[in-house]
Amino acid sequence: MPRDSSHSSQRQALAAYGRLMRAANALRSVASQQLSESGLTLTQFAVLEALYHVGPMSLSEVARKILTTGGNLTMVVGNLEKQGLVNRKCSAEDGRVYVLSLTSKGKTLIGAIFPEHASAITGQFEALTPKEQKKLAELCRKLERQEQA
């Protein structure tokens, strides 16, 4: 009895999804372990890293950049603020908008831990050739665009 091509296609898509999620979870675990000594969560690190590389941004810009929800980000930023790592101020242009920036303590911390983090991630990707890394990035972008369509 011939296999239904839609069933085969579905099985292949689900298998690919499962592999992608397992790989992403493995990478997330490595990143989380690497950051554990700093006392930062992955989301806290992502906020600091975005501000470090981009500069001051509104809460909504940071949320889009690090792919999180506004509600979760408000709590994360509140904790970073309590630790003295970020400042949150009303925008001069629009008082409804909060702009985040790194404090000197935040700059020092992210400047110290980012190189080690980047090295840990780079080490994980050494399992792939540069050509495979480029292809993986292209495929991930293609899946992102599909979601946005």
Q: Kindly report, residue by residue over 82-115, the tens digit of the pLDDT.
A: 999 999 998 888 888 889 999 999 999 999 999 9
Whole-number Å distance between alpha carbons of 120 and 109: 17
Evaluate if residue 147 carries a pLDDT over 90.
no
Phi, psi of 83 (to 5 degrees): -80, -5
Phi, psi of 98 (to 5 degrees): -100, 135
Q: pTM for the complete prediction?
A: 0.84
15 touches 73 (CB < 8 A): no
Give the rounded distance of the alpha carbon of 54 from its chain centre: 14
pLDDT tens track for 12-61: 999 999 999 999 999 999 999 989 888 999 999 999 999 999 999 999 89
CATH says 5-148 is which class? mainly alpha
CA-only gyration radius of the chain, Å = 19
Q: Which pLDDT belongs to residue 93? A: 83
Whole-number Å distance between alpha carbons of 38 and 109: 8
